[in-house]
């Protein structure tokens, strides 16, 4: 890994997930033997305790058939008291895709990310005792997932559909609701010539009383027209969600178990 690429990745790391100054402590040996392991461990986890843990289930294809849209599902429900889930790809120019603060939600999330080359894709799960639990694997991918123009930019219709959203919800066992939200958004990385970075930055999910059930910090390495599936506590009432992008536009809507609804876009 070149110094130049390392510098690009350092600049791309969002401050929301940085753990502070680089730690002087040593890190556990990486079972994936990634050339960027210690670089990311220092900046994401600092002095926190790190374990590689099979209790974190990362469900991903072995090969990226489409490097622009790579599905990742993280299920950490076998761990107690989960506070955050971070999904990142070591060798992406924008490594961190999402940082999910679970709050009252189950530690489960599915989304789609971009891959710029062959890279480890990982999930890091923080439990209330301050321990980070990691899992992941190497993924074969063709280049350019982060540095090619979005399809909607090529077609030229992105502005006509910006912010369109759909949501669906299904009741699950244990008083949980499976909630899926999709948005029309180019999710520009800023790595394409003459196209500035422009992406959804935050997604907040609330119950009918306005209590935040979960919040997701989102970066440009999430796929165009992003989709997010989470498991939230619900009593059968509508669940509200609101996405905010880097231009300050907000896209809000609701979902009720068993119903498919079009959300509203509110610039």
pLDDT tens digit sequence for 165-223: 999 999 888 788 999 999 999 999 999 888 999 999 999 999 988 999 999 999 999 99
Q: Which of 262 and 195 is assigned the larger pLDDT?
A: 195
Helix/strand/coil percent split, the chain, to 5? 15, 45, 45
Topology of domain 1-267, CATH: Immunoglobulin-like (2.60.40)
- Residue 265's pLDDT band (boundaries 50, 70, 90)? very low
161-180 pLDDT, tens digit per residue, is 898 999 999 988 878 899 99
User: Which pLDDT does position 154 carry in this prediction?
Assistant: 65
Give dist(CA 225, CA 206) in Å, integer.
22
Global pTM reads 0.87
Extract the tokens encoding 107: 């530690």
113-134 pLDDT, tens digit per residue, is 999 999 999 999 999 999 999 9
5-47 pLDDT, tens digit per residue, is 444 444 445 444 444 444 344 899 999 999 999 999 999 999 9
State the sign of the Cα–Cα–Cα–Cα dihedral 142, 185, 87, 1.
positive
Q: Are 239 and 151 in contact (CB under 8 A)?
A: no
User: Domain ranges in the chain?
Assistant: 1-267
53-112 pLDDT, tens digit per residue, is 999 999 999 899 999 999 999 999 999 999 999 999 999 999 999 999 999 999 999 999
């Amino acid at each position: 890994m070149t110094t130049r690429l390392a510098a690009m990745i350092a600049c791309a790391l969002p401050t929301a997930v940085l753990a502070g100054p680089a730690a002087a402590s040593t890190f556990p040996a990486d079972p994936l033997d990634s050339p960027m392991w210690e670089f990311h461990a220092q900046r994401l986890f600092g002095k926190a305790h790190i374990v590689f843990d099979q209790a974190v289930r990362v469900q991903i294809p072995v090969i990226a058939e489409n490097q622009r849209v790579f599905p990742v599902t993280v299920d950490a429900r076998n761990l107690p008291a989960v506070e955050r889930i971070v999904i990142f790809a070591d060798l992406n120019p924008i490594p961190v895709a999402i940082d999910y603060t679970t709050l009252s939600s189950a530690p489960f999330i599915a989304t789609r990310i971009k891959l710029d080359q062959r890279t480890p894709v990982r999930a890091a799960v923080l439990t209330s005792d301050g321990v980070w639990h990691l899992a992941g694997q190497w993924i074969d991918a063709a280049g350019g997932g982060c540095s090619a123009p979005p399809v909607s930019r090529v077609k030229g219709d992105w502005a006509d559909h910006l912010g369109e959203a759909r949501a669906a919800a299904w009741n699950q066992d244990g008083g949980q609701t499976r909630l899926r939200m999709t948005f029309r958004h180019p999710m520009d990385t800023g790595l394409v010539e003459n196209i500035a970075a422009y992406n959804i930055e935050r997604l907040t999910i609330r119950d009918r009383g306005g209590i935040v059930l979960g919040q997701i910090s989102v970066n440009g390495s999430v796929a165009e027209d992003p989709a997010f599936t989470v498991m939230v506590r619900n009593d059968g009432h509508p669940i509200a969600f609101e996405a905010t992008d880097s231009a300050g536009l907000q896209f809000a809507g609701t979902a009720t178990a068993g119903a498919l609804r079009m959300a509203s876009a509110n610039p």
